[in-house]
């Protein structure tokens, strides 16, 4: 890897440090891994046509040995993931706050690699489960790799990393029967929650709509921990990192999420992959919250507590740049699966705080990669390799790719003029922030960490009425799966400290004892936490268009054109694949049948119909419409479709009908942008 590589993206959109590793096999001869051309790949080398296979068949042994070792251990958590490449552009220089070069020069385009994931499930689990989502970003900067390893929820279950194994053991399938997969609705998880009440705030997020995102493209990301930004003068600020999706933050409804798990367990990765292939590049703006070190104790929360957030109304988010994901991986294993992230991968100008959960992660991540990727050289895999050169005296080990020249591999030395040599701060050498520390060695936590319910109540207070109802339903579902009556009651009593209304709501649903006392005096709220206040756009929304032969060709074409101009993605649904012909000869290619497509994979439906459609067509389309209606999705109808909706009593908020195609398309687009219509009365 030459010293002349830079943090830039070439004209084909491919980051240069990976280019030399890409191989196109099409049109090439078959060879062994040593490059020897192979003359036969169908038959083993045998002693005679019907004799035993010979040991000297090196091609067979190489091929089979490699196959036997194709799988590496999956991640203990975050096993189910999908990733993409992109670039980060800086809007405003942060030179005032940090000496990190990629956060100073607004002309720099920094290559990035982002992996999204679920936490609880195995590598083969479904994707729309109720769970936190990983949001890990690797910046390939000229000063080295910087990994921002976060989640789509800004807080965590625990305050100290020593409890992480306990949390995961409780969350994972129960060891006596290996059930349930990718789900928290079982006894051991909720027993952990009730007996580790620092989890209260995270549980509120996990029971909210945030835990079932509509798309990875419509999901916030958070660094979770408090870090430090340090400028060239050595002055530090506490910082929290945010990723804000340009499309807004949107979610599924629970019934829809469960059905998608069965209909398309790859729903989220398919959505991300197809969006990038279609040129609808996912975009996220980077935001930072900054607190002066001298203001550390001026808040009603501890800035180092990972179960607490910094309310945006008190500590505003400063938007400083944008990340665009513009290229899918070429090989999921080589890139997504072998990607190794580490919160300790930092660059000059970014440092750590004493958050005890972060401190533990700084050890754990390296330890994990050693076992999963087979040794200490995981940084040499193409996806993990920095774009800047690296020089040190570390040698050998499993998977070593670098061929180090020379006789010296130690420091200090004279034979190589004492090189490689440390760099001074002026030369770009990393220096840790000189924080003054004193205290006794002790196993305890700060008193300021012991308030477990105030911010859980703040989150509850910040929710809209539909969001609150969804949280009650989520608790009711999860605890309804718990067999232990004692655990159920413990959770009810615990969350009475957050909100009596909440606790009573799910206590009644599971026939637990409704608490008489409790409640919270916290009245503070943060409107930024409610998805009701998110960005709402029609762009990239999937619109299922139900048509049969004989539809009004010219008028339907006009509506579809208008929808596409607004960035939506109309897809044709009918009873059979092929084409459907309109009354004027217009033809539409069918992309989904009632059998292969489901209403749950669309954001909205446009019901057109046609002439002389049979009873089966009507029944199938009615099922589509009623299910979408029950999920509060926007539904539009023109021509025959209007009569269908009237016959089925489908009306109310978000249901748009019209005979004037131009005004209909405009009104329907507004309804699509709204995402859900919670004030609709179900029929």
Kindly list the catalytic residues: 78, 151
What gap in Å lies between CA 274 and CA 271, rounded to an integer? 5
CA distance 657 to 663: 10
How far from 532 is each of 209, 468, 678, CA to CA, in Å? 11, 12, 10
- Select from 116, 117, 120 the least CA-distant residue to 192: 120
**Greatest pairwise CA separation for the chain in angstroms:** 91
The CA distance from 428 to 227, in Å, is 20
376 in Cβ contact with 368 (< 8 Å): no
3-state secondary structure of 590: strand
Q: 3-state DSSP call for residue 487? A: helix
CB 222 within 8 A of CB 197: no
From 430, 225, 239, 236, select the one nearest 346 (Cα to Cα): 430
Q: What gap in Å lies between CA 329 and CA 86, rounded to an integer?
A: 10
Enter the tokens of residue 476: 């009711």
CA distance 338 to 381: 8
CB proximity list for 388: less than 8 A, separation 6 or greater: 5, 7, 141, 142, 143, 144
- The rounded distance, in Å, linking the Cα atoms of 457 and 519 is 9
112: closest CA among 81, 90, 79?
90
Exposed/middle/buried for residue 647 (C-beta within 10 Å: 0-12, 13-18, 19+)? exposed
Other CB atoms within 10 A of residue 241 CB: 23
CA distance 188 to 172: 9
- Listing DSSP states for 308-328 in one string gives ----TTTSPPEEEEEEEEEEE
How many C-beta atoms surround the C-beta of residue 535 within 10 A? Answer: 13
Judging by beta carbons within 10 Å of its beta carbon (0-12, 13-18, 19+), is residue 182 exposed, middle or buried? buried
How is residue 43 written in tokens?
Answer: 């038959």
Provide Rg for the chain, Cα atoms: 28
């Amino acid at each position: 890897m030459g010293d002349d590589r830079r943090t830039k993206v070439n004209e084909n959109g491919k980051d240069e440090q990976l280019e030399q590793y890409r191989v196109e096999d099409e049109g090439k001869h078959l060879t062994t891994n040593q490059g020897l051309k192979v003359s036969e790949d169908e038959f083993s080398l045998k002693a005679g046509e019907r004799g035993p296979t010979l040991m000297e068949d090196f091609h067979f042994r190489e091929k089979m040995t490699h196959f036997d070792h194709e799988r590496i251990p999956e991640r203990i958590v975050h096993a189910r993931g999908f990733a993409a490449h992109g670039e980060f552009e800086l809007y405003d220089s942060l030179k005032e706050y940090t000496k990190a070069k990629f956060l100073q020069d607004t002309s720099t385009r920094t290559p990035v690699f982002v992996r999204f994931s679920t936490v609880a499930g195995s590598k083969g689990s479904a994707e729309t489960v109720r769970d936190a989502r990983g949001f890990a970003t690797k910046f390939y900067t000229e000063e080295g790799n910087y990994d921002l390893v976060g989640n789509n929820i800004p807080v965590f279950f625990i305050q100290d990393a020593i409890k992480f194994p306990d949390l995961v053991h409780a969350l994972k399938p129960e060891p006596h029967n290996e059930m349930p997969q990718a789900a928290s609705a079982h006894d051991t998880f909720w027993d952990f929650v009730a007996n580790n009440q620092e989890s209260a705030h995270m549980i509120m997020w996990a029971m909210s709509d945030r835990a079932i995102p509509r798309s990875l493209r419509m999901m916030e990301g958070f660094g979770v921990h408090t870090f430090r930004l340090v400028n060239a003068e050595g002055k530090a600020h506490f910082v929290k990192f945010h990723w804000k999706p340009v499309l807004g933050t949107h979610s599924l409804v629970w019934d829809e999420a469960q059905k998608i798990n069965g209909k398309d367990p790859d729903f989220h990765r398919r959505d991300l992959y197809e969006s990038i292939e279609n040129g609808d590049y996912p975009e996220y703006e980077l935001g930072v919250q900054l607190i002066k070190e001298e203001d550390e104790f001026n808040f009603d929360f501890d800035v180092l507590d990972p179960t607490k957030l910094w309310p945006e109304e008190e500590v505003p988010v400063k938007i400083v740049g944008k990340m665009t994901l513009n290229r899918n991986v070429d090989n999921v294993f080589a890139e997504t699966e072998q990607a190794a992230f580490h919160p300790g991968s930092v660059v000059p100008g970014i440092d750590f705080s004493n958050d005890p959960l972060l401190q533990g992660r700084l050890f754990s991540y390296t330890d994990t990669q050693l076992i999963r990727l087979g040794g200490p050289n995981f940084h040499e895999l193409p996806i993990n390799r920095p774009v800047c050169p690296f020089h040190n005296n570390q040698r050998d080990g499993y998977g070593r790719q670098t061929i180090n020249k020379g006789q010296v591999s130690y420091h200090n030395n004279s034979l190589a003029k004492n090189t490689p040599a440390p760099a001074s701060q002026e030369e770009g050498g990393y220096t840790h922030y000189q924080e003054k520390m004193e205290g006794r060695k002790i196993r305890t936590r700060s008193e300021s960490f012991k308030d477990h319910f105030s911010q859980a109540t703040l989150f509850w207070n910040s929710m809209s009425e539909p969001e609150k109802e969804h949280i009650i339903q989520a608790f009711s579902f999860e605890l309804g799966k718990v067999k232990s009556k004692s655990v159920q009651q413990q959770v009810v009593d615990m969350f009475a400290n957050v909100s009596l209304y909440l606790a009573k709501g799910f206590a009644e649903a599971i026939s637990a004892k409704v608490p008489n006392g409790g409640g919270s005096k916290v009245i503070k709220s943060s409107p930024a936490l409610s998805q009701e206040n998110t960005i709402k756009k029609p762009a990239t929304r999937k619109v299922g268009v139900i048509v049969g032969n004989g539809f009004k060709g010219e008028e339907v074409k006009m509506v579809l054109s208008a929808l596409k101009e607004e960035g939506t993605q109309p897809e044709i649904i009918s009873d059979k694949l092929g084409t459907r012909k309109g009354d004027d000869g217009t033809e539409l290619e069918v992309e989904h049948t009632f059998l292969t497509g489901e209403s749950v994979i669309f954001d909205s439906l446009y019901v057109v119909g046609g002439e002389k459609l049979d009873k089966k067509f009507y029944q199938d389309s009615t099922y589509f419409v009623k299910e979408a209606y029950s999920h509060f999705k926007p539904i539009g109808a023109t021509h025959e479709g209007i009569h269908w909706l009237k016959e089925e009593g489908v009306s109310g908020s978000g249901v748009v009908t019209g005979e004037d195609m131009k005004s209909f398309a405009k009104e329907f687009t507004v309804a699509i942008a709204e995402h859900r219509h919670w004030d609709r009365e179900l029929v």
